[in-house]
Amino acid sequence: MSGSGPAVRVSIESSCEKQVQEVSLDGMETYVPPLSMSQNLAKLAQRIDFGQGSDSDEEGAETEPRDPQEWGKQEPEEDEATVKFQPSLWPWDSVRNNLRSSLTEMCVLYDVLSVVKEKKYMALDPVSQDPSAGKTPQVFQLISKKKSLATAAQLLLKGADKLSKSVAENQENRRQRDFNSELLRLRSQWKLRKVGDKILGDLSYRSAGSLFPHAGTFEVIKNTDIDLDKKLPEDYCPLNVQIPSDLEGSAYIKVSIQKQAPDIGDLGTVSLFRRQPKAKAGTQPWHVKLEAAQNVLLCKEIFAQLSREAVQIKSQIPHIVVKNQIISQPFPGLQLSISLCHSTGEKKNQRASPEKPKPDDHLYVLEHNLHQLMREFHKQTLSSIVMPHPASAPFGHKRQRMAGPMAYDKAEISNLQQNEGLLEKIIKQAKHIFLRSRTARTIDSLASRIEDPQIQAHWSNINDVYESSVKVLITSQGYEQICKSIQLQLNIGVEQIRVVHRDGRVITLSHQEQELQDFLLSQMSQHQVHAVQQLAKVMGWHVLSFSNHVGLGSVESIGNASAITVASSNGEYAISVRNGPESGCKVLVQFPRSQSKELPKSDVIQDGKWNHLRGPYKEVHWSKMEGRNFVYKMELLMAALTPCP
Amino acid sequence: MEAPPVSVLPITGGTISMMEYLLQGSVLDQALESLLHRLRGLCDNMEPETFADHELVYLLKGQQGNPFLLRARRSLSHPTVPWHLRYLGQPEVGDKSRHALVRNCVDVAASHSLPDFLNEMGFRMDHEFVAKGHIFRKGVLKVVVSKLSRILVPENTENTEPLSLSYLVELSVLVPAGQDTMSEDMRSFAEQLKPLVHLEKIDPKRHM
């Protein structure tokens, strides 16, 4: 037990499992390096024929002779391993193998990473590069850089190409969508329908009740004349409308009243044209175009109706229809012309040169009224009084249907029918407008010409198309409260003026301008005498006599002269006034006998009291009298003749 | 005593003879709403008009074969409006290409003593019915959508039962004789109603 014998050296040597590759001449044995795990696995995997299925035996037989040879060498270790690699044994074989190899790879990776990180057992050391191997010639570098750049550039170009193509496609798509959205907008305002592959629309007033035979169809076309490369213009619209050729441009109806032209040679050449108003900024071009075409259609319909009536309706003075103008005579010496001015948009065709603008005698009110009357006519054809009850009866006004059962006679039937056409209505309105303006002119000219008495006109704001009214007051300045006896109400009708006086008289004047003027002048002269009457009341003088229409003295050509005699309060003085529209005023004062010198003394009158009576008359130089108007002068005179108490 | 012989003479003198162009079709009750909507859109822009009429058909049997037929119609919704008497002639056998049924038509308004008058003249009432529905117009075209009902108790227009589950649609125009332009307009209008209702000319002879 305690070390007695010599130590025995025991050497342990592993069994030599490695194969001997070669034995060198000096006896050294070179071993084949043992296969690593992966190498081993790979070698074994090589033996597997993956193409062989479980039923192909001859291939299996082929590999068989190869395998036993190698098996013989490594049989003891690999017996179990080989059994696993038989492919026919198990369908999950390849999967398992793949998993295994991936596990191996992962382990290796993990090992490398841990080596890199921890540096405990192994460390990574950079291998020194061979310096001669890194130096490449510069030309080669340049060429390689160029090539790489070229590849990169090509890639970028391809990308850019794709992008631009997609942008262009997007724009095209947007234009497509724009056409549809424009079409939707168009449809929200205009009637459209699809006929075959065309889109047609209706811009006539048919659906609103018009009976004009014009179809009024327009076509909607896609605007394809667009260049994708150029920039889109500001007012580009993907939708275009094509209107019928006779509705192009714009039109309006001109109604004007002129003095009768001495010659009718240049009839039908109305071509003065007003500039069309600029379209609002937000409206689409097709909307502007369609509206203009619709307006042209309506103007054509109005003019057609007017000319038809002008030809058919019999009137005392026939209407003349020439080309695009209808001429009629509302009053003698006056000419009403209604013309359709249609310009197709070509400026060169305008014959009337705009350098010499004629005074605008276009009655816009009447043009507007024509449009309104036409629309009213349209509405009437749509009213429900035309609908038949019972349903099988023909269309027609329901009152006309009563004509049969009620046994109407011709007079009643003609009363039922509308006997006033468009033309007659417009002529009546024109007459009224003309009469009204002439009345106003007359009153204004009188007012500016004559200062004493003053004439005031109060026009009423609310008028009818056929009737207007004005209140005329004749006053003296400063004495409006005292002398307000002349107040006239003028009702201006179509052909006559009806005057209602304050005292109840009703006078009808014709359309002659002179009649109204004469009447007003006569009223003014009457006013002066009335004013004296009112003044006398105020001043305390007595009215001895008063007459609106004296039958003495010279005959006036306008109206009649009026006269008044007033006496002072104590009776001593008397004033006589005679005022006529033409002869002016004449004022005489009567003095008491005691003051007159030319009376002869006679012994018939013995009593002195008779001297207090009024005696001879003396005329007053009225024009030399002080005072700014007649009534003022009269007041001064009266005051002068009133004795102081 | 039997009715004196009646010879049918052409209407002459004084009146303009009118021709009626007619196209007929029918829709089921369920499709009425959509038809009314479409008509409302296609026809003139007016408030929709409904009607309720009572029609009596009078026959005069002469010695010849064909009896003389007159239609008297009054409005139940407007009782004071005059009666309407109508004579419809035989359909004109013109060219087959004409799209509508054309026949001579005489319309007369009459007072409320019309049934008595017709009875005195020798007419006998053949049948009567009540028609209720809507009426539309487009220019001179008239579209009548009506439901016909049978009168169960004579003289009593309250007690009715519908003849069928559909509405009769009629498109008609009255034009003076000689004008032949309306059939095209009628055809194009009928085209626009196409999938909802098929309006075509129906010869009454073939269905007798």
Contact B139 A403 (CB under 8 A): no
pLDDT of residue A19: 78
pLDDT, mean of residues A347-376? 67
Closest by Cβ to B47, choosing from A384, A393, A401: A384
**Contact yes or no for A395 and B107 at CB 8 A:** no
- A403 interfacial to chain B (CB closer than 8 Å): yes
Mutate to test the interface with A, among B46, B71, B85, B192 (most CBs of A within 10 A): B46
* A8-22, A463-477, A631-645, B60-74: the lowest-pLDDT one: A8-22
Please give the average per-residue pLDDT across A397-402, as a whole number. Answer: 80
Q: Is the CB of residue A571 less than 8 Å away from at least one CB of chain B?
A: no
Closest by CA to B184, choosing from B102, B91, B98, B95, is B98
- Say yes or no for a CB contact (<8 Å) between B144 and A211: no
The answer on A621 and A563 residing in a single domain is yes
A250: distance to nearest CA of chain B, Å? 27
**Ramachandran category for residue A584: left, alpha or beta (phi over 0 → left; psi -120 to 50 → alpha):** left
Mean per-residue pLDDT for B174-196? 83
Average of per-residue pLDDT across A51-64? 51
Q: Is A462 exposed, middle or buried (0-12, 13-18, 19+ CB in 10 A)?
A: exposed
Q: Stretch A478-482: mean pLDDT, rounded?
A: 89
Task: Give the C-alpha separation, A507 to B8, whole Å.
Answer: 66
Å from B5 to nearest chain A CA?
27
**In angstroms, how far is CA A591 from the centroid of its own chain?**
80
Q: Does A407 touch chain B (CB under 8 A)?
A: no
Question: Which value, in Å, is the radius of gyration of the alpha carbons in chain B?
Answer: 18
Q: Are residues A205 and A337 part of one domain?
A: yes
Q: Chain B contact for A390, CB < 8 A?
A: yes
Question: Hey, which of A18-22, A233-237, A435-439 has the most confident mean pLDDT?
Answer: A435-439
Q: Is residue A477 part of a domain?
A: yes
When comparing pLDDT for B7 and B153, which is higher?
A: B153
Nearest CA in chain B to A406: B111
- Asked if the C-beta of A405 comes within 8 angstroms of chain B's C-beta atoms, the answer is yes
Nearest CA in chain A to B41: A207
Would A475 be classed as within a structural domain? yes
State the nearest Cα–Cα gap between A202 and chain B, in angstroms: 12
pLDDT at position A68 over 50: no
**Interface contact A390-B81, CB threshold 8 A:** yes
Query: Are A547 and A467 within one domain?
Result: no
| Residue the block writes with tokens 């841990």 | A114
pLDDT digits (tens, 9 = 90+) for A268-316: 445 555 556 666 666 778 888 899 899 999 999 999 999 888 888 877 7
The pLDDT tens digits for A165-182 are 999 988 877 766 678 888
What is the SS3 assignment for A156-210?
HHHHHHHHHHHHHHHHHHHHHHHHHHHHHHHHHHCEEEEECCEEEEECCCHHHCC
Average pLDDT over residues B184-193: 86
- Report the pLDDT value the prediction gives residue A324, as an integer from 0 to 100: 82
Residue pair B53/B76 in contact (Cβ under 8 Å)? The answer is: yes
Mean pLDDT of chain B: 84
Same domain, A505 and A531: no
Higher pLDDT pick, B79 / A611: B79
**CB contact (8 A) between residue A401 and residue B81:** yes
Within a domain: residue A28?
A: no
What the block records as the tokens of B56 is 């009596």
Residue B202: predicted pLDDT: 80
Q: What was the ipTM of the complex prediction?
A: 0.79
- The answer on pLDDT for A403 being more than 50 is yes
Show the tokens assigned to B63: 């010695």
**Residue A572: inside a domain, yes or no?**
yes
Contact of A319 with A423, CB cutoff 8 Å: yes
Point out the residue among B75, B137, B142 whose CB comes nearest to the CB of A390: B75
In a domain, A489, yes or no: yes
Q: Work out the pLDDT band at A1, boundaries 50, 70, 90.
A: very low
Average the pLDDT over A123-147 and give the result: 77
Is residue A81 over pLDDT 60?
no
Q: How many CA atoms lie within 13 A of B153 on its CB side?
A: 4
Alpha carbon distance A386, B47 (integer Å):
12
Q: Residue A552 pLDDT > 50, yes or no?
A: yes
Q: B135 and A395: CB-CB below 8 Å? A: no
A404 touches chain B (CB under 8 A): yes
| Domain-ending residue, one of A474, A492, A516 | A516
Q: Is residue A587 part of a domain?
A: yes
Among A87-91, A371-375, A493-497, the minimum mean pLDDT is found in A87-91
Rounded to a whole number of angstroms, the distance from the CA of A400 to the nearest CA of chain B is 10
Asked if the structure places residue A546 within a domain, the reply is yes
A344 versus A266: which is more confidently predicted?
A344
Among chain A residues, CA nearest to B53? A390
Region of poorest pLDDT, from A138-152, A352-366, A431-445, A500-514? A352-366
Residue A55 pLDDT grade (very low, low, confident, very high; cuts 50, 70, 90): low
User: Please, which residues have CB within 8 angstroms of residue B17's CB and are 6 or more apart in sequence?
Assistant: B11, B104, B106, B176, B177
Could you say which of A389, A401, A403 has the minimum Cβ distance to residue B51? A389
The predicted structure's pLDDT at residue A349: 40
Residues of A in contact with B140 (CB under 8 A): 395
The DSSP code sequence of chain B is -PPPP---PPP-SSSPPEEEEEEEEEEEGGGHHHHHHHHHHHS-S---EEEEEEEEEEEE--SSSSPEEEEEEEESSSTTSPEEEEEEEEEP---TT--SEEEEEEEEEE-TTHHHHHHHHT-EEEEEEEEEEEEEEETTEEEEEEEEEEESSTT-SSSEEESSSEEEEEEEEEEETT---HHHHHHHHHHHTTTT---B---GGGG-
The closest of A335, A356, A330 to A267, measured between CA atoms, is A335
Closest CA–CA distance from residue A180 to any residue of chain B (Å): 23
Let me know: does A202 contact A216? Beta carbons within 8 Å: yes
Closest CA to A550 of A537, A533, A565: A565
Contact state of B75 with A389 under an 8 Å Cβ cutoff? yes
A398 touches chain B (CB under 8 A): yes
Asked if A382's CB is within 8 angstroms of B44's CB, the reply is: yes
- Smallest Cβ–Cβ distance between B110 and the set A387, A395, A404 belongs to A404
CB-CB under 8 Å, B81 with A398? yes
Q: According to the model, what pLDDT value does residue A268 have? A: 47
Please tell me which residue of chain A has the smallest CA distance to B71: A392
Both ends of chain A: CA-CA distance in Å? 191
Identify the closest residue of chain B to A401 by CA–CA distance. B109
Interface probe with A: pick from B17, B42, B57, B75, most Cβ of A within 10 Å:
B75
A387 lies within 8 A of chain B by CB: yes
**Which of A516, A538, A567 is the endpoint of a domain?**
A516
Residue A455 and residue A368 share a domain: no
Q: Which of B51, B81, B137 sits opposite A395 (nearest CB)?
A: B137
- List phi, psi (to 5°) of A350: -70, 120
Angle between helices A93-118 and A37-47 (to 10 degrees): 160
Is some CB atom of chain B closer than 8 A to the CB atom of A395? yes
Nearest to A208 among B45, B49, B109 (CB): B45
**Which of A484, A516, A548 is the last residue before a domain boundary?**
A516
Say whether B44 and A383 touch across the interface (CB within 8 A). Answer: no
Question: Does one domain contain both A504 and A558?
Answer: no
Is the pLDDT reported for residue B1 higher than 50? no
Mean pLDDT is lowest, of A36-40, A66-70, A406-410, for A66-70
Query: DSSP for B101-132?
Result: EEEEEEEEEE-TTHHHHHHHHT-EEEEEEEEE
* Share of residues in chain A with pLDDT > 70 (%): 82
Rounded to the nearest 10 degrees, the angle between the axes of helix B182-192 and helix B32-42 is: 130
Weakest-pLDDT range from A85-94, A358-367, A629-638: A85-94
Least confident of A203-217, A448-462, A478-492, A593-607: A593-607
Query: Based on the domain organization, do A613 and A480 belong to the same domain?
Result: no
The pLDDT of residue A272 is 52
Chain A residues in contact with B108 (beta carbon < 8 A): 404
Structural domains of chain A, count: 3
Identify the pLDDT of residue B9: 56
| Residue A389 to residue B174, Cβ atoms within 8 A | no
C-alpha–C-alpha distance, residues A88 and A52, integer Å? 8
Q: Do A548 and A628 belong together in one domain?
A: yes
Would you call A384 an interface residue with chain B, using a CB distance cutoff of 8 Å? yes
User: A391 vs chain B: nearest CA distance in angstroms?
Assistant: 7
Beta-sheet strand order (sheet of A562-567)? A542-547, A562-567, A574-580, A584-592, A614-619
Could you check whether the bond before residue A390 is cis, i.e. omega within 30 degrees of 0?
Answer: yes
Pick the residue from chain A with its C-alpha nearest to B138.
A207
User: Sign of torsion, CA A180 A186 A189 A193?
Assistant: negative
- pLDDT top residue among A417 and A41: A41
Query: B97: burial class by Cβ within 10 Å (0-12, 13-18, 19+)?
Result: exposed
Residues A237 and A318 in one domain: yes
Residue A512 has pLDDT above 80, yes or no: yes
- Burial (CB count <10 Å: 0-12, 13-18, 19+), residue B102: buried
Q: Name every residue in B having a CB less than 8 A away from some CB of A.
A: 18, 44-47, 49, 51, 53, 55, 71, 73-75, 77-78, 81-84, 86, 107-111, 131, 133, 135, 137, 139-140, 142, 144, 146, 174
Do A402 and B82 make contact, defined as CB atoms within 8 angstroms?
yes
Q: CB–CB of B109 and A393 under 8 A?
A: yes
- Determine the average pLDDT of the residues in A62-71: 47
For residues A496 and A450, membership in a common domain is answered with: yes
Q: Do B110 and A387 touch (CB under 8 A)?
A: no
Q: Average pLDDT, whole number, for chain A?
A: 81
Contacts of A449 by beta carbon, 8 Å cutoff, 6+ apart:
none
pLDDT band at A264 (very low <50, low <70, confident <90, very high): low
Does residue A147 or residue A331 have the better pLDDT? A147
Band of residue A483 on the pLDDT scale cut at 50, 70, 90? confident
Of A206-210, A369-373, A492-496, the one with minimum mean pLDDT is A206-210
Give A398's contacts in chain B (Cβ within 8 Å).
Answer: 81
Tokens of A186: 């168009």
Categorize the per-residue pLDDT at B192 as very low, low, confident or very high, splitting at 50, 70 and 90. confident
A215 contact B CB<8A = no
Whether residue A633 sits in one domain with residue A529: yes
A404/B82 CB distance under 8 A: yes
Task: Read off the pLDDT of each residue in A434-444 and give the average, rounded to a whole number.
Answer: 93
B1: distance to nearest CA of chain A, Å? Answer: 30
Q: What is the mean pLDDT of residues A565-570?
A: 92
Same domain (yes/no): A472, A365: no
The rounded distance, in Å, linking the Cα atoms of A178 and A184 is 10
Tokens coding A15: 């069994």
Q: Which residues of A touch B78 (CB under 8 A)?
A: 389
Residue by residue, what is the 3-state secondary structure of A490-557? EEECCCCEEEEECCCCEEEECCCHHHHHHHHHHHHHHHHHHHHHHHHHHHCCEEEEEECCCCCCCCCC
What average pLDDT does this structure show over A187-201?
86
Domain that residue A445 falls in: 431-516
Q: Cα(A630)–Cα(A633) distance, rounded to whole angstroms? A: 5
Give dist(CA B170, CA B136) in Å, integer: 10
pLDDT at A87 over 70: no
Q: Are residues A391 and B135, on separate chains, in Cβ contact within 8 Å?
A: yes
Q: What is d(CA A198, CA A188) in angstroms, rounded to the nearest whole number?
A: 18
pLDDT at residue A60 in the model? 45
Is A207 domain-assigned?
Answer: yes
Cβ-based contacts of B46 with chain A (< 8 Å): 382-384, 387
